[in-house]
Structure 1
Amino acid sequence: MDFSRLRATSKVVDEWKYPLVPARASGLQPVDRDPDHALYWEEYGNPDGEPVMFLHGGPGGACAPVMSRFFDPARYRVILFDQRGCGKSTPNVAADGPKAALTRNTTDHLVDDINALRDALGITGKMHVFGGSWGSTLALVYAIRHPDKVAALILRGIFIGARQDLLYMYQGNAAVADQTPYALSEPGAYIAYPEAWKAFLAPIAPADRGDVMAAYKTIFDLQPTSEAERKRQLEAAVAWSVWEGTISNMIPDEADSGKFGDADFALCFAQIEAHFFAHNLFLPPDYILANVDKIAGVDTYIVHGRFDQVCPLTQASQLVAALEAIGSPPKAYVKTNAGHSAMEAETVLALTAIMDGLPPI
């Protein structure tokens, strides 16, 4: 049988409108002491253009130059930066260990970091804030606290961060998977990705799968004293990271896990995510939906993949309903035929179209 004509990926191929160009400036900006957190940043596009603050996902996902391609380089001044503890920011979980990198690493600190970077780069007026997944969470929190500094919110893959949202992704049928691996006993992403789910659960003993996130956090909190313990911790970090990387794509590349399988990336990504999730994102319950009235005057644009299994569409639906309830519906709400990743073709096209069509600041 010839399956060669079946599409092997949903990822962006030649849909990009704007080229990948080198950063025009970069640096390491100190933002805190004890420990001395410093953020790595890059700037793209027009130095006199409308500022765009790009907030990456995770938390712990870091930025990459390709993320600058959503924006017209003649119009926008685009700031990419790595949040605390990941990417090229210091201290770094992989290079310096979690004790330093996770100290003073909370949502409040990340919001303050955005303002510190704004000030350091001379951004004095309003800016566009562009964020996906955890970046959408951080963008919403920032706008709730500083609506006067936000011209527009451009949000992709909405993550409200309620407990049920985390259980959908990380818990599913884990408690019974050892006995009945194909039981559809609970909602969850495992339903669409059974092989990847089996690999994700592998580092956790069946007896500990009643709370998978807590079991992983226990492994990440170990201070390894032997090569075997270091290996176990790394394998767990990679399993956590690859699970999210796999289910982020509507059609995953099963032969290549990309950055999610890289040891340094996985250590940062997994341990920072587990740190934030264990503390309920360092936010009060229902913080975003309870405070959505504070962004009533901010133009909001939402793109969400209909087949998203990391952040199911229900999360975008809740945000849209909350905005409609206060008489401030989003300027655009686009449901793409895509999964979670920003790098899927329809999502790239939608986000680029929104940025091209924004009214000027």
Structure 2
Amino acid sequence: LTRKLDAIRNITFDDLITDIEDVRRHVLGENQKVSVMGSSWGGPLAAFYAGYYPDKVKQVVVRGTSLVELCGRMNPADVEKTTEQYEKNPFFTRFVDRLRSDDFFGENFDQSEIMHRLYHVMFDEDGHGQTKAWTPEQKKEAAMLWRSWNVSLQYSYGTDEAEIQKTVDKFVTDDWGHSFNYAGMFAWTLEKQYPLWAPEQGEKSMFHAMNIIRNNNIPFVAVHGIGDDICPFDNAVRLVQQVDQTAIEEDFMIRNEAGDVADVRGLQFGQGLLTILPVLAGHAMHGNMMPKAMKAVLEHFSGDSLPLQTLYPDLNLPQNPNQQAAVVVVTQGTQVHIHP
């Protein structure tokens, strides 16, 4: 476990962007362009890759991603939402209470510090800048509790706890090694890397990367669940509003799982170059709507706009004939795949 965390310590944001380009060049050669798709935390990496290498990118698609700041229910600095979680989400309650116990920090620290405390546990600090060696078992326990909470946020409040626990058992308990790596990577990124590309960082910020995408006329689509509790819909809206002041905010007609049409709020910018598509879904790919929307967007960029037009009857996106390209998929900032 110590070796796993030591490896994470050596990862920088620039390294991750370079890795994506190395994979693209190795598989496809020097000059072939790709479509880049990023999921969750892979979304910022996809956008930054396009900002670093605009001449290598045909279009960018991001799903359920946090592009400006960590927010929603995974941002305990939001006191109201954190208090609500502590009262209603047993997975969050167990995570907080365990880290508050004597064999961890032994103090009643504010819930808003919980993600910093996870970093302190995983990387051997006591929260006051002093070194403290937690045991491998303590680190594993903290990582598992955090990952269980993370999984629970993919469901809406009121979901039966037993149903969530089945998913936790499958993806957390039965694969604790991945959960350990994921918790370590998330804690390290939040504490050490996320601040490096915040809005105030100028040319290293996400806003700068998005400006490059816009100035190079690279189509950018954010497919986002309006019920996303991890990366709220408004987060994607705020990013694109900062980049393009010609926002067209309108009601989107969207078909639900039953095939009926519903009105939801969406945004379209720059004559369709920057678009936020609302989906009747949450953060995860559970259910039919998010996979259906993602499939329709990718088919649109391959030249077939009918599936997207069927899903969004009044959508006005530019036609993209003959845009088919290999797709680079970045998931959670930890894996890169290329689909020809």
Query: TM-score of the superposition, structure 1-length normalised?
Result: 0.63
Alignment of 1:5-16 (within 5 A): none
Measured in 2, the distance between the counterparts of 1:346 and 1:193 equals 26
Q: 1:135 to 1:343 in 2, by over 3 A?
A: farther
Structure 1 equivalent of residue 81 of structure 2: 187
Query: Compared with structure 1, are the counterparts of its residues 279 and 103 closer, same or farther at alpha carbon in structure 2 (3 Å cutoff)?
Result: closer
Change (3 A) 1:192 1:138: farther
Distance 1:127 1:105, change over 3 A: same
Instruction: State the Cα distance separating 1:96 from its structure 2 match.
Output: 3.6
- Residue 222 of structure 1 is aligned with which of 117, 124, 131? 124
Residues 249, 122 of structure 1: alpha-carbon distance in 2 compared, 3 angstrom cutoff: same
Query: How many percent identity over aligned positions?
Result: 20
From 132, 135, 160, give the equivalent of 2:67: 160
1:319 aligns with 2:220: no
Q: Give the match for residue 295 of structure 1.
A: 213
Helix, strand or coil for the counterpart of 2:50? helix
Aligned position for 1:171: 76
Partner of residue 273 from structure 1, selected from 168, 172, 186: 186
Q: How many matched pairs?
A: 251
Q: Is the CA contact (8 Å cut-off) linking 1:323 and 1:330 kept in structure 2?
A: no
Supply the AA of the counterpart residue of 1:294.
I
Structure 2 regions of 5+ residues with no counterpart? Answer: 101-106, 126-133, 200-204, 247-268, 302-319, 324-340
Shift of 1:193: 4.8
Contact conserved, 2:87 with 2:93, CA < 8 A, in 1?
no
Which of 256, 259, 267 in structure 1 is aligned with 2:171?
Answer: 259
* Contact 1:161 1:281 (8 Å CA) reproduced: no
**Unmatched 5+ stretches in structure 1:** 1-93, 174-184
The Cα of 1:330 is off from its aligned counterpart by 4.3
Any idea what SS the aligned residue of 1:171 has?
coil
| Partner of residue 208, structure 1 | 109
Are 2:91 and 1:196 equivalent residues in the alignment?
yes
Letter in 2 for 1:347: M
| Cα distance between partner residues in 1 of 2:273 and 2:145 | 36
Structure 2 residue corresponding to 1:134, chosen from 41, 45, 50: 41
In 2: Cα distance, 1:112 partner to 1:105 partner: 11
Find runs of 4+ consecutive structure 1 residues off by over 6 angstroms: none
Partner of 2:58: 151
| Larger relative contact order (CA 8 Å, sep ≥ 6) | 2
- The correspondence for 2:5, drawn from 89, 94, 98, is 98
One-letter identity of the residue aligned with 1:268: N
Q: TM-score, normalised by structure 2?
A: 0.67
User: Which residue matches 2:263?
Assistant: none
Structure 2 CA distance for aligned equivalents of residues 220 and 333 of structure 1: 36
Residue 141 of structure 2 is matched in structure 1 by 235
- What's the counterpart of residue 340 of structure 1? 283
